[in-house]
Amino acid sequence: MKDVSLLTVILNWRTPEMTLKAARAAAREMVGIDGQIVIVDNDSGDGSFETLHAAALNADWAEGRVDVVQSGRNGGFGAGNNFGMRHAMAQREFDFIYILNSDAFPDTGSIKALLDHMQAMPTCGFAGSYIHGEDDAPHLTAFRFPSVGGELEGAARIGVLSRALHTHIVPLPIPAETTRVDWLAGASMMMRRQVLEQIGLFDETFFLYFEETDLCLRAQRAGWHTDYVRNSEVTHIGSVSTGMKTWNRKPQYWFDSRLHYFRKNHGMAYAAAATLAHALGTCLWKLRRVIGRKPQRDPAYFLWDLMSHFVKSTFRRTSREPSKTPRLTVRKEARQ
């Protein structure tokens, strides 16, 4: 394999100590690789930037390879990672970009496994890791693209319906070996610079959720594929910055991102069909709950929030929502 360069971007939002733990793990796994780590503080406003900056200056593991930058605004996951990529690429060119969550810690050999895979597979645009918790339990991180059938199945959670719509189920069974998937969660994902130059960076219309899905779909439509690399293992806590595990009600940005994904990639009619399918599935689940005395699994007022959001958004817009997709450009000096 030829020598390649790697940029690692870690986004921080009010978790400086955990971010430093992720950066230390990444630095350990990047020994012998020509690369740099950029930590982006997404305008935490809690002293995170100062803590991270001081650590990068004084820590032995940083070795001058860690750059801490302030985004200046909390534009969400995609915007923060875009900022880090553009910042680094303005200084030099990197062949691959690796995005790592602040609560994700690469295990031994994980980053090299992704890098080796992408070098061996020149048509692979994105590659992601096998993710497991601190208790070694595997996390669902490999998926099919969302569809009308997937929205119905995922909301209904009824066995006979799931069997009939098995080719539409969004979460894939955890792969036992390296395989091609539609899209991957962005907790540990490596990207080919050439792909980003072709299709653009994350769409910053998404504040949080669906941005990786959209990026992988754009890559697929441009002729690139996404791979799940089983021998790249990463420990992930999960939902530390978002607080998703403690949600009592789905936040507005989740509904915004979901609807934008369907409208942007499939059009208004398809977005309406997907929303109605999700609503129907939710109603079927509610009926099953009553009959089978099942526990509550959906956040409070989910069906009301889903439909009211769709109706309000329909009245506000009459066409596909515009996308905010920055281009990845490299300074001419960096290419020389």
Domain ranges of the chain: 5-245+323-335
Q: How far is CA 48 from CA 17, 68, 162, 218, in A?
A: 9, 10, 45, 34
Query: Average pLDDT, stretch 109-114?
Result: 98
Q: How many CB atoms lie within 10 A of CB 168?
A: 18
Give per-residue pLDDT as tens, 168-180.
999 999 999 999 9
Q: In the beta sheet, which residues pair with residue 191?
A: 97, 126
What SS3 state is found at 183? strand
Two structure tokens written together for 201: 């960076």
Q: CA end-to-end span of the chain, whole Å?
A: 22
User: What pLDDT score does 247 carry?
Assistant: 67
User: What pLDDT score does 320 carry?
Assistant: 52
Give per-residue pLDDT as tens, 4-24.
999 999 999 999 999 999 999
Contact 130, 229 (CB under 8 A): yes
Contact 210, 260 (CB under 8 A): yes
Q: How far apart are CA 232 and CA 102, in angstroms?
A: 17
What SS3 state is found at 136? coil
Higher pLDDT: 241 or 233? It is 233
φ/ψ (deg, to 5) at 110:
-70, -45
Q: Residue 317 gets which letter from DSSP? A: -
Contact 7, 85 (CB under 8 A): yes
Q: How many CB atoms lie within 10 A of CB 321?
A: 18
Percent of the chain exceeding pLDDT 70 equals: 93
Q: How many CB atoms lie within 10 A of CB 90?
A: 12
Q: Looking at the predicted structure, is the pLDDT value of residue 322 above 90?
A: no
Give per-residue pLDDT as tens, 72-94.
999 999 999 999 999 999 999 99
**Average pLDDT of the chain, as a whole number:** 93
Count Cα atoms within 13 angstroms, Cβ side, for 281: 25
Please tell me the total number of residues recorded for the chain in this structure. Answer: 336
Q: How far is CA 285 from CA 153, 208, 260, 295, in A?
A: 10, 26, 25, 11
Q: In the beta sheet, which residues pair with residue 68?
A: 39
Distance from chain centroid for Cα 203 = 12
Q: How far apart are CA 242 and CA 253, in angstroms?
A: 11
> Yes or no: is domain 5-245+323-335 CATH 3.30.365.10?
no
Q: Looking at the predicted structure, is the pLDDT value of residue 336 above 50?
A: no
Torsion 197-198-204-208 (CA) sign? negative
Torsion 198-203-208-214 (CA) sign? negative
Q: How far apart are CA 85 and CA 91, in angstroms?
A: 10
φ/ψ (deg, to 5) at 226:
-115, 135
Q: Looking at the predicted structure, is the pLDDT value of residue 218 above 80?
A: yes
The single residue listed with the structure tokens 């978790």 is: 15
What is the chain's alpha carbon radius of gyration, rounded to the nearest angstrom?
A: 20
Q: Among candidates 78, 53, 77, 75, which has minimal Cα distance to 66? A: 53
Two structure tokens written together for 252: 């507005």
